[in-house]
C-alpha cells in the first residue's frame, strides 16, 4: 500500500508556499504522490451536485504541479482529476508533457468525464456525449505522446501533419488514471487506463467498484501494453489503521488521503499523523 495526498492545489494549498511545504513534508514522510483536483468554474450559488462553494480556490492543475515539481525531488505529481472533455486534448498533452519534463518524469495524468452540467455550459462544451469525447481525447493524447508522426482521426478530434516536442520523459507517456464510479468510467479504466481512481469511497463502496471493474473486464478488451490496472482511492476523512488494512485486503494499491483542511498546520498534522500511524499499518 502506498500513500498520496489529494488537494495540493485546492483551498489552503492554493497558497503556493503552503503547497510547497505540504508537498515537501509528504515527500519526507514517505508519501509517493500528491494529487490535484479541478473545477474551472463552480456554480454560484452552490447547488447539488456542486462539491464546493463558488469561492473555493482551485489553482490550475498543471501550473500547481509544475510549481510543486520545482520544490520537490521524488514525489509523483498527479492530476486527480482533470475534466478531460472540457479540454482540448492537444493542449492538455502539451501541458502534462511539460510537467513531466520539468519534474524529471514524475507526472501522472488522472482524468474524468465530469458531472457538473453548469460548468460545461459556462465553458461552451456539450454535456451530452462527454463520455465518448473523453475516450477519444485519451486516444488523441497518447497518439501525440507516442507516435513518431502523430496522427489521429475521430468524431470529435482530428490532426495530422503536426508534431509536439519535447516529448514526455516517461515513455510512451505518463500513466493515465481514469476516475469515476459509473459503469462507463469503469469500462474506460479497463480499456484505456493505467489506473483507476475512486474519490471519497469507503471500503464498502470501494468493494462494489472493484467488482464493477471485474465486470467491465468481461465487457471490454484491455490492451496488454497497459499492464495491471493500479487502484487508487481517496478514503473519507478519519481513516484509521484498521481501515488501511481493509482497503489493502480489497487490493487497493494507494490511498490518496483527503487534504481539504482549513490551514497549513492542519495539513502538516495530517501528514505527520499518517506517517506515524497509517504508513506503518500498510507495511
Please report the pLDDT score of residue 166 as a whole number: 98
User: Who contacts 214 (Cβ-Cβ below 8 Å, separation ≥6)?
Assistant: none
Q: Which three cell numbers stand for residue 11?
A: 483551498
User: Who contacts 229 (Cβ-Cβ below 8 Å, separation ≥6)?
Assistant: 189, 190, 193, 194, 195, 196, 213, 222
Quick one: 154 exposed, middle or buried, by C-beta within 10 A (0-12, 13-18, 19+)? middle
Q: How confident is the model at residue 187 (pLDDT cuts 50, 70, 90)?
A: very high
Q: How confident is the model at residue 197 (pLDDT cuts 50, 70, 90)?
A: very high
In CATH terms, 2-281 corresponds, of 3.40.50.300, 3.30.70.980, 3.20.20.30, 3.40.50.1260, to: 3.20.20.30
Please report the pLDDT score of residue 183 as a whole number: 97
The torsion of the CA quartet 184, 204, 22, 56, rounded to 10 degrees, works out to 60
CA distances to 177, 203, 247 from 111, in Å: 6, 22, 22
Mean pLDDT for the stretch of residues 15-39: 98
Q: How confident is the model at residue 249 (pLDDT cuts 50, 70, 90)?
A: very high
C-alpha to C-alpha distance for 242 and 163, rounded to whole angstroms: 50
Please report the pLDDT score of residue 214 as a whole number: 98
The residue ranges of every structural domain in the chain are 2-281
pTM above 0.85, yes or no: yes
Mean pLDDT for the stretch of residues 225-251: 96
Using the predicted structure, report yes or no on whether residue 282 has a pLDDT greater than 90.
no
Using the predicted structure, report yes or no on whether residue 281 has a pLDDT greater than 90.
no
Residues in the chain, overall count: 283
Using the predicted structure, report yes or no on whether residue 36 has a pLDDT greater than 90.
yes
Mean pLDDT for the stretch of residues 103-124: 98
Amino acid at each position: 500500500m502506498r500513500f498520496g495526498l489529494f488537494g495540493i492545489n485546492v483551498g489552503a494549498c492554493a497558497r503556493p508556499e503552503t503547497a510547497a511545504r505540504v508537498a515537501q513534508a509528504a515527500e519526507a514522510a514517505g508519501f509517493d504522490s500528491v494529487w490535484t483536483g479541478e473545477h474551472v468554474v463552480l456554480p454560484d450559488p452552490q447547488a447539488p451536485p456542486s462539491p464546493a462553494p463558488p469561492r473555493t480556490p482551485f489553482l490550475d492543475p498543471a501550473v500547481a504541479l509544475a510549481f510543486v515539481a520545482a520544490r520537490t525531488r521524488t514525489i509523483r505529481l498527479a492530476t486527480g482529476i482533470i475534466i478531460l472533455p472540457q479540454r482540448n486534448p492537444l493542449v492538455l498533452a502539451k501541458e502534462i508533457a511539460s510537467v513531466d519534463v520539468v519534474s524529471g518524469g514524475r507526472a501522472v495524468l488522472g482524468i474524468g468525464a465530469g458531472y457538473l452540467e453548469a460548468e460545461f455550459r459556462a465553458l461552451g462544451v456539450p454535456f451530452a456525449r462527454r463520455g465518448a469525447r473523453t475516450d477519444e481525447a485519451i486516444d488523441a493524447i497518447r497518439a501525440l505522446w507516442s507516435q513518431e508522426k502523430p496522427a489521429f482521426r475521430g468524431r470529435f478530434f482530428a490532426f495530422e501533419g503536426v508534431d509536439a516536442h519535447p516529448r514526455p520523459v516517461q515513455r510512451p507517456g505518463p500513466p493515465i488514471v481514469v476516475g469515476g464510479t459509473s459503469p462507463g468510467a469503469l469500462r474506460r479504466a479497463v480499456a484505456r487506463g493505467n489506473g483507476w481512481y475512486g474519490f471519497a469511497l469507503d471500503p464498502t463502496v470501494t468493494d462494489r467498484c472493484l467488482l464493477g471493474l471485474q465486470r467491465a473486464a468481461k465487457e471490454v478488451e484491455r490492451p496488454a501494453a497497459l499492464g495491471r490496472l493500479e487502484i487508487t482511492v481517496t478514503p473519507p476523512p478519519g481513516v484509521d489503521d484498521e481501515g488501511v488494512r481493509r482497503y489493502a485486503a480489497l487490493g487497493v494499491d494507494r490511498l490518496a488521503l483527503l487534504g481539504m483542511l482549513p490551514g497549513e498546520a492542519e495539513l502538516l498534522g495530517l501528514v505527520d499523523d499518517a506517517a506515524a500511524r497509517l504508513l506503518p499499518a500498510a507495511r
